[in-house]
Amino acid sequence: MKIIKSNLFRHRQCKYGNFELQTDKNWSISYSFIDFESGLLIVSTNDDNENHWENLGYNGKRIPSKQYVIDLNNLKILSAKEWSKFFNYESKISYSSDNKLKLTTQRIHHPEDNIDTIQEKLEIIESGHISTSESFAFSDQKRENLLQQTIRRIEENQEKKRQLESKLTLDEFYSKELNSLNEKDIIFNYINNDSCYQLSFIANEFILSKSKLKTEKIEYEQLEFKFYKDFKNIEDFWDYFSKNNKWFIDYSTFFLSNNKPHLLAKFIIPFFNQLRKNHLFTFEEYNKINQWQNIIWNDEYKATENKQWCSLCKKEVDYSPRYPKYICNECSLKDKFDINGNLVEFSNLGISGGLKITRYKNQIIEEDDSQFMCDCTIENKLFFVHEARFGGIVIQLKS
């Protein structure tokens, strides 16, 4: 890449000053920014020639790139030796205000990629637990180090806990919703193959009405509901509705602005909790479960009312609508085997994610980064492994 300066015969300008950046042939600028710490201009370029791209299989393609560091004071592209004068590469130690956390930070240069990274190690002094991180050093914003991140997350979790404790239990939320019902309120609508049902609150009873579907496209305003059944209370309706334990598959529901489906949260959430505890659903069925969960979701009741369990040891874990059959951290550390009986481990390819599969038989026999997901067995149960949406690795029961 070259820096083309302005002269008497031609004025040149970009958003960083009176000059232009000229890339090498068949290369283009992918991004550029002013580094917050040093004020240097950071420019990254990519090779546009697809013949030079490396195919990574399911993990996409690796595109050759080059990084340039420019001193805007003299419009010079700096070598690593020149830009290193702007930074401190010595290891630094800092502590939290209560001296319970110790952070070791060091800036590292990687000559093979011509980049700098920040490597951090955070130690909880009382327990000795250590966590690490590595990130790109150049940034257009002030960096938040691992100690600051940890303190911020602790404070955020404490605030979330306070907010959670102030929210209603399902029973409290149910009582509130029940007491707020007005005459002729519609609780919800649900459909099967040929009929649409409507549950309403009329004369202190719950009335189920029914309408035949005349077309595949539901035109709600044209439906003619007629009395079908009545129930003294919502508990009686739920007993009737849930006799078919696959109701969430056989019926679909839709939300209308005047509906009050949240009244059913007290019944639907424990039902799905039990399914998650025993993992009595397929992933295809779980799409239906999430549709019903979305209909009854409300921010007034505690999020922890939704529960989930490790699909291997059955220990309760954090609820995750995206990964309904994931295993806990302890189980993820257990020995994993591929279909040939080799020990296998999974990790990300790097900062950008991806799935790396490493197979062992006394020593490493294969490293594979060409797959999007991979099967393995743990304690003779079949699981599948894939990259998490925001980084990391997820192991889920396959059945």
Compute the average pLDDT of residues 359-382.
Answer: 87
Residue type for position 339: I
**Residue 320 banded pLDDT, cuts 50, 70, 90:** very high
Q: Are 116 and 110 in contact (CB under 8 A)?
A: yes
Q: What is the pLDDT of residue 353?
A: 67
Contact 356, 346 (CB under 8 A): yes
Give me the helices (H) in the chain, please. 80-83, 146-166, 170-179, 234-241, 247-250, 265-278, 283-296, 329-332
Give the residue-averaged pLDDT of 62-89.
Answer: 94
pTM above 0.85, yes or no: no
Collect contacts of 203-208 with beta carbons under 8 A, ≥24 apart.
205/230, 205/231, 205/232, 206/230, 206/231, 206/232, 206/233, 206/234, 206/236, 206/237, 207/231, 208/237
Rounded to whole angstroms, how far apart are CA atoms 68 and 89? 19
Over pLDDT 90: what percentage of the chain? 77
Q: Are 1 and 43 in contact (CB under 8 A)?
A: yes
Tens of pLDDT along 195-221?
999 999 999 999 999 999 876 677 777
Whether residue 58 has pLDDT greater than 70: no
